[in-house]
Amino acid sequence: MDKVQALKGTDIEKYEWLSPGDKNTNELLPASFQEIGKPGQVEVDTGSFVFNWSGTKKPLSPLIISKFFWQSEYEIANSADDKLEIFVAKSISQVPEVEYIIFSKIDNYYEIWTVINKLDREARDRIYDVEYNILERFRDNYFDFHVICRNDKSIEEICPTNAIIFYRRKA
């Protein structure tokens, strides 16, 4: 069997932002759309003039057109931030009771421990729903999910060997 892939310790800090309410907003589109002009009415200078009897020139009323100037940006994905582990952590961390997510990975075999503090069957059910969704969507990967209760122990006491803490909810 291959060696367990070591994920860098710095990942722990890096992905703390995944905590709901931090960057997981309900905002749609603004991040992926670039405003290149103010939407709505845009004044266009026609460059046309009329002259009155006194010989002075007077500009015509500017032409008003309504047009939306929205241009989609390219979607950018990268293999560091859009890897499957992060998608899994993002998904599971949507359950507010989740305090830690611990990973070990061998090739496309993932073992995932989701840590909550006290036994909470409702929270567990919501975590199971997320896990089921992940299983459905990534059938060509192998997942072994566990939900464990910390019961006020420190995370270091329950973190399995050869696994890393991939997500830690911000206090």
Partner 1 sequence: MMEKRTMINFGGRTVEATEVGYKGIKEEWNEYQADDGTVLRLKVVVSEIYRLDEYDQDSKPIYVIKSSNVLSSSVPEHLKKGAARVQ
- Point out which residues bind partner 1 (CB under 8 A): 26-30, 33, 35, 39, 68, 70, 75, 77-79, 82-84, 87, 90, 136-138, 140
Nearer residue to partner 1 within complex by CB, 18 or 164:
18
- Closest approach of partner 1 to the CB of residue 111, in Å: 17
Q: Which of 84, 89, 93 is nearest to 137 (CA)?
A: 84
- Closest approach of partner 1 to the CB of residue 67, in Å: 12
Is the separation of the CB atoms in 116 and 149 below 8 Å? yes
Which secondary-structure segment (H or E) carries 32? none
Using CA atoms, how far apart are residues 126 and 92, in angstroms rounded to an integer? 9
Nearer residue to partner 1 within complex by CB, 138 or 158:
138
- Closest approach of partner 1 to the CB of residue 74, in Å: 12
Contacts of 107 (CB under 8 A, 6+ apart): 2
- Closest approach of partner 1 to the CB of residue 134, in Å: 9
Which secondary-structure segment (H or E) carries 141? none
Nearer residue to partner 1 within complex by CB, 35 or 144:
35
Nearer residue to partner 1 within complex by CB, 40 or 47:
40
Contacts of 39 (CB under 8 A, 6+ apart): 68, 69, 70
